[in-house]
Amino acid sequence: MSSRRNFLLHTALGMAATTMAPFTVAAAAAVPAKKALLPIGMAGYTFAKFDLDQAIAMMNRVNIKNISVKDIHLPLNSSPEKIKEVLGKFSAAGINVYAVGVIYMKTEKAVDEAFDYAKRVGVPLIVGVPNPELLDYTEKKIKEYNIRLAVHNHGPEDKLYPGPKNAYDLIKNRDERLGLCLDIGHAARAGEEPSKAILAYKNRIFDLHIKDISAAVKDGKAIELGRGVINFKKLVTALEKINYAGVCSLEFEKDMSDPLPGIAESAGFFRGVISTVNS
C-alpha cells in the first residue's frame, strides 16, 4: 500500500504545479533539460455529467492537456461540422485529443462504426471493448485502417475482460497494433497487481486509466489517488522500466457530480510520485 506520507512533499509540489504552471514556464526554461515525465491525461468518462465546455474548464483548472474523448461529448454519428466544432474547442484550450473511447462493440457493424469514427476524428487509438468473438474481425479492421485498438478491462463484474490478463491472453499473438488499456483500479479489484501487470504485458499496453481503490477486492470503491491501496511508486517505476510511451489518464469516479476537487488532489499526488521516481 502506498504511504501518503512518503510522497507528501512531492504531492504538495505537484499540486502547486497544477495551479501555478503559467507562472513557472519562464523559470523552467532556464533549467537544464531532464528526462520527459510521464504525460497525464483524462479519461472522458470522468466528465459524464458535464457538458464539453465545463469539462474543458475543469481540465484547464488542473493543467491537464490530454484526453481520450468519450461519445458523451463527441457522438459516434457526429457530422463533420460537429467533429470540427468539438476538436476546435479542445485545440483552442491547448488540449490534445489522443484517443476515442471507451467504445463497446457487440457486432461487426459496431466495429465498423468505431473505426470509421476514429478515422473521421483523426485519432490513432481506439479504447474499446470488442466482444471476444469479434477479435478476428477487429484485427482485420486494424490492418485496414492502421488504427490501434486498446482493449479495456472492467473488473470482476465484467464477463468479457475482468482483468488485463483476460484480454492479453486473447490478443498476445495477434497484430501488434491490438493492445490493452490497463485500468489499474479494475485490475486490482480483479486480483492483478497493476505494476506486475505492466511488466508482464509491457509492449501491449497502449493506454492507462489511473485510479485508486479502497481495497483490492470486488467491492473496492473508487477513491482519490494516494488514499487507497495501489502502490503508485511501484506503478510509475514499472512504467519507467518498460519505457511506456502512452498517456496516464486519470479516471475519477468517486464523486462524478463534483469531480474537480478529487481530480486536483489526484493529479497533484500522481505528479508528486512521478517527480519522486525521477529525482
Consecutive 10-residue averages of pLDDT for the chain (279 residues): 46 46 43 73 98 98 98 98 98 98 98 98 98 98 98 97 98 98 98 98 98 98 98 98 98 97 98 95
Model pLDDT, residue 11: 47
For 58, other C-beta atoms within 10 Å of its C-beta total: 18
Count of beta carbons in the 10 Å neighbourhood of residue 37: 14
Domains of the chain: 4-20+36-278 (3.20.20.150)
Residue type, 214: S
Q: What is the pLDDT of residue 180?
A: 98
- pLDDT for 33 equals 52
DSSP 255: -
Integer-rounded Cα radius of gyration of the chain: 18
pLDDT at residue 35, rounded to an integer: 64
The pTM of the full predicted model, rounded to 2 decimals, is 0.88
CA pair distance 7, 273, nearest whole angstrom: 6
C-alpha cell at 30: 532556464
133-141 long-range Cβ contacts below 8 angstroms, 24+ apart:
134/105, 134/106, 134/107, 134/108, 135/170, 135/171, 135/174, 135/178, 137/108, 137/111, 138/105, 138/111, 138/178, 139/174, 139/175, 139/178, 141/111, 141/112, 141/115
CB atoms near residue 278 (< 10 Å): 13
